[in-house]
């Protein structure tokens, strides 16, 4: 993607200001010290001087992390922006995704830091390239609509509101903005490690897509929005069907629904009530057991995510590991 001349480049402040409806100040910026979060910190500070705080999460995964903290402190001192820092253990358990473990630890830490800083709204610097990477990563894993919806522009977690105002901006434009102003930032060495699927997508697949389909950022983002809208409808249908079956769902109530609606209801119930995400194979096995459950003595005891779905009387129940 060619770099535009300075006078033709996107305005980085405009989407940040446009997203600010309903925010409470001070507002927090998730600041890693990298290019994107550096641009977001400077942009937010320009929009609301004296009303911005920075949040930095030290993941403890690499030696360079201590240097990141020092860099962030120097930048924030220069701007007069308070910096709140947290050290987390983002190491993953055997069999878990290292990216998922780091992400969960990061959001928990960001929410806690925002609370300590008195900030209700947290800005994240993810952009259109990150959105395309997330969609492609979901496709590579055979994800359903929640995965294909990629990253939401707004979401709530741990009592804080998170915002991604730059999902419509390309990475090259953000870096050009920094270069124009000679603003320093750090490069995370792990971003070049192609052992991670996301990095292979970033360094190998996105350049090829840019050559073959120059507008892929816009079209991918549109597909993600369509998936998110469809997922909202499925969630609404799940709530209606759950009202029909009762909660926990009755086996007879489930059997009265078409199989695809049973699956939709069960995914919603397991995720929202038990934080359990069944695999496709687990869901198929559960649906077969529900269909076969025609006698009082028929038992159901199936592993789903980190626990078991069981029959208790005329209803299903879920229990985690003891």
Q: Domain count of the chain?
A: 2
Residue 55 pairs with which residues in a beta bridge? 30, 84
3-state secondary structure of 142: coil
First-to-final CA distance of the chain: 52
Residues 311 and 267 in one domain: yes
Residue at 62 is within a domain: yes
Residue at 234 is within a domain: no
Residue at 224 is within a domain: no
Residue at 211 is within a domain: yes
Per-residue pLDDT at 4: 58
Written as one string, the DSSP assignment of 206-229 is HHHHHHH-TTHHHHHHHHHHHHHH
Residues 261 and 172 in one domain: no
Residues of the domain holding 171 = 6-218
Residues 185 and 256 in one domain: no
Residues 35 and 105 in one domain: yes
pTM of the model: 0.88
Q: Is the peptide bond before 6 cis (omega within 30 degrees of 0)?
A: no
In angstroms, the CA 160 to CA 208 distance is 37
User: Can you give the C-alpha Rg of the chain in angstroms?
Assistant: 23
277 CB-near residues (< 8 Å, 6+ apart): 267, 270, 271, 305
Residue at 236 is within a domain: no
Per-residue pLDDT at 7: 61
- What's 172's domain CATH number? 3.40.50.620
Per-residue pLDDT of the chain (322 residues; tens, 9 = 90+): 455 566 667 899 999 999 999 999 999 999 999 999 999 999 999 999 999 999 999 876 666 678 899 999 999 999 999 999 998 876 655 545 666 777 888 999 999 999 999 999 999 999 999 999 999 999 999 999 999 999 999 999 999 999 999 999 999 999 999 999 999 999 888 888 888 888 999 999 999 999 999 999 999 999 999 999 999 999 999 999 999 999 999 999 999 999 999 999 999 999 999 989 999 999 999 999 999 999 988 999 999 988 999 999 999 999 976 4
Residues 209 and 311 in one domain: no
Per-residue pLDDT at 230: 97
Per-residue pLDDT at 322: 46
Per-residue pLDDT at 232: 96
């Amino acid at each position: 993607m060619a770099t535009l001349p300075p006078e033709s480049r996107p305005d980085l402040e405009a989407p940040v200001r446009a997203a600010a409806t309903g925010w409470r100040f001070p507002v927090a910026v998730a600041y890693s010290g990298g290019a994107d979060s550096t641009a977001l910190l400077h942009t937010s500070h320009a929009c609301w001087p004296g009303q911005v705080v920075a949040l930095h999460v030290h993941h403890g995964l690499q030696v360079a992390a201590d240097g990141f903290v020092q860099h962030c402190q120097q930048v924030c001192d220069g701007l007069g922006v308070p910096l709140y820092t947290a050290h987390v253990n983002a190491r993953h358990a055997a069999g878990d995704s290292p990216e998922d473990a780091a992400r969960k630890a990061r959001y928990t830490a960001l929410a806690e830091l925002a609370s300590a800083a008195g900030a209700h709204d947290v800005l994240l610097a993810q952009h259109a390239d990150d959105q395309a990477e997330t969609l492609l990563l979901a496709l590579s894993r055979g994800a359903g609509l929640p995965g294909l919806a990629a990253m939401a522009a707004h979401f709530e977690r741990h009592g804080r509101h998170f915002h991604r105002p730059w999902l419509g901006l390309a990475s090259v434009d953000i870096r050009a903005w920094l270069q124009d102003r000679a603003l320093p930032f750090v490069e995370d060495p792990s971003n070049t490690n192609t052992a991670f699927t996301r990095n292979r997508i970033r360094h190998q697949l996105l350049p090829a897509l840019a050559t073959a389909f120059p507008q892929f950022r816009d079209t991918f983002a549109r597909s993600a929005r369509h998936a998110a809208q469809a997922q909202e409808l499925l969630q609404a249908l799940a709530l209606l069907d759950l009202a029909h079956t009762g909660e926990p769902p009755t086996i007879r109530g489930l059997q009265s629904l078409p199989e695809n609606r049973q699956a939709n209801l069960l995914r919603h119930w397991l995720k929202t009530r038990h934080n359990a995400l069944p695999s496709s194979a687990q869901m198929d096995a559960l649906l077969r057991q529900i269909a076969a459950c025609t006698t009082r003595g028929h038992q159901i005891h199936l592993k789903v995510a980190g626990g078991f779905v069981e029959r208790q009387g005329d209803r299903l129940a879920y229990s985690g590991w003891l």
